[in-house]
Amino acid sequence: MLNFFFGTVAGGLIVGVLTIAAARQPEVQARLGLRPVLPPMTLAAAPKAPEPDCGRRQEAAPNGAAQEILFNRQRFWSVSP
């Protein structure tokens, strides 16, 4: 008898949760008449802002021995936004 009671309570909870989850979907709301069917809206593409020219310097290729890029102090301190 106790198993029947627990099964009934668990089934009722599952049905309640699934009903609430389904009623939150727009398609189900339209089928139930809770909300009128609206055509899907599309967002207009926003114009892309031009990238500002920050006056970046073009570095020449290193002459002679290859510079170590990771620990080069000049490159480390000359970080531009």
Q: Give residue 59's region: left, alpha or beta (phi > 0; psi -120 to 50).
A: beta
Q: Enumerate helices (H) and strands (E) in the chain, giving the number of each.
A: 3, 0
* Averaged pLDDT, 7-22: 94
The residue ranges of every structural domain in the chain are: 1-38
Task: Give me the chain's average pLDDT, please.
Answer: 76
User: Is the confidence at residue 64, as pLDDT, over 80?
Assistant: no
Global pTM value = 0.39
Q: Identify which of 61, 48, 52 has the alpha carbon closest to the alpha carbon of residue 81.
A: 52
